Structure 1
């Protein structure tokens, strides 16, 4: 009996909710693909090797996941695109149960059709992040990851005090929150987001490229937060020895960075930073 092989992904441009998505094959790898939306890179996925985390900020996510207590995870992801991190979690922690919320139904269907979403333990639901969060029960997740962008800007309402309090309630005691944001000169949004995190979580760590951290260029900043101690020493060692080293910032240095910044609230939310026009960013 012959088996029908799944057709290979088709490179090209596809209309999606938040613009035009482009699917590009990596010329150096047989089955690795880049997904961009509106000219901004969103996901890189190697279908033959889910452990390959090409984007630096996703590798930082992976570092934190690797250092969590062993065993499968119950994970909630707000923002999915090609589901690079859920694929990684499923591969490195068999038996994990994962739910992805993504507001772009057309992009989800594109990924499902072209790259496949038959990942063990993974469900994907098309919904706005805040609306999806409102459906989750308390103490049901070991990990919550926020990596949701619309037209290169962080999806609205996901950086506020109200949103973070909901996420903290969804997390189990000792659970971990991860977020990817972007910022540029002076880090005004990152400082306010940090102040917001510190209102909700007693433990916060920032992982970022030194140039981005100094405000010298626009880029990604990864935050990890928890009610329990975070593996900061191990994270610092990993990030310092990475192919593209990042800094691990905690404690007094993080407090200094936050300064007098005010938490972001639903009533007082600054516009999310947008990358300069001349940058094809990984956001």
Structure 2
């Protein structure tokens, strides 16, 4: 807790590396976190990007209160916690108002379908400023069916898509995390990033361009019609003041 720059989960380190490969540390990043938890990623970015302005969207209001009470979170306007449903909040935001969107939302062991679809991803792109990065944590099983469809969906919306995961996950050997990201500018092509990803406790590979297309080949783009409940279109989120 005394070192917010220490990330225990590998997928969080991969997200951090990817964002840092795009934005210099003196950037005044505008970051939207869909899924708050203990605000681990928000604390990390606050430490690495001291001038960042961040909003964390968390559906569990009681959890948000406890996190604010327990942990040493930056105060507003550096970090705000907004209690609400991720899609409803996203669709309410202004065009080109964020530089980074991190989606890390789970119900049990899967991300709700309404937060994975083409329509949702189009909203994410609308909210991103030019050159912004949309990055998601996708949990999947050995068949990688969900990750392939997410990669196909993000690739349908963004000109440039990357996938980061460890080799065992990419070979379908276990359940785990796949990080997928999209941008309207080239992303993840830094040799330094590839070296950094290989150097972690769980070495990871990054797939770009045609490699992503090959990974997602034959996978259907996710659509709102597959969501079990109609996606919201109006925000009902509330902000925790002092958050």
For the criterion TM > 0.5, the same-fold answer is yes
**1:61 pairs with one of 2, 5, 15:** 15
Runs of 4+ in 1 over 6 A off after TM superposition: none
**1:185 pairs with one of 121, 142, 148:** 142
Give the 3 Å change call, closer, same or farther, for CA 76–223 of structure 1 in structure 2: same
Give the 3 Å change call, closer, same or farther, for CA 167–258 of structure 1 in structure 2: same
Do structure 1's residue 245 and structure 2's residue 203 form an aligned pair?
yes
Q: Which moved more, 1:161-170 or 1:106-115?
A: 106-115
1:160 CA drift (Å) = 0.4
Taking the aligned partners of 1:225 and 1:242, their CA distance within structure 2 comes to: 23
Relative to its length, the structure with more helix (as a share) is 2
1:253 CA drift (Å) = 1.9
Secondary structure at 1:157's aligned position in 2? helix
Larger Rg: 1
Instruction: Answer whether contact 1:90 1:119 (CA < 8 A) is retained.
Output: no
In the alignment, structure 1 segments of 5+ residues that lack a partner are 1-45, 271-283
In the alignment, structure 2 segments of 5+ residues that lack a partner are 229-243
- The residue that corresponds to 1:146 in the other structure is 103
Secondary structure at 2:125's aligned position in 1? helix
**1:92 pairs with one of 38, 41, 48:** 48
Taking the aligned partners of 2:84 and 2:184, their CA distance within structure 1 comes to: 27
1:131 CA drift (Å) = 0.5
User: Which is bigger in relative contact order (C-alpha 8 A, separation at least 6)?
Assistant: 2
TM-align CA RMSD: 1.4
Do structure 1's residue 198 and structure 2's residue 152 form an aligned pair?
no
Instruction: Answer whether contact 1:87 1:119 (CA < 8 A) is retained.
Output: no
Do structure 1's residue 78 and structure 2's residue 20 form an aligned pair?
no
Q: Please, what TM-score do these two structures have when normalized by structure 2?
A: 0.88
Secondary structure at 1:215's aligned position in 2? coil
Q: What count of residue pairs does the alignment treat as equivalent?
A: 224
Q: What aligned pairs does 1:101-140 form with structure 2 within 5 A after superposition?
A: 101-119=57-75, 121-140=78-97
Instruction: Answer whether contact 2:45 2:52 (CA < 8 A) is retained.
Output: yes
- The residue that corresponds to 1:263 in the other structure is 221
Instruction: Answer whether contact 1:236 1:248 (CA < 8 A) is retained.
Output: yes
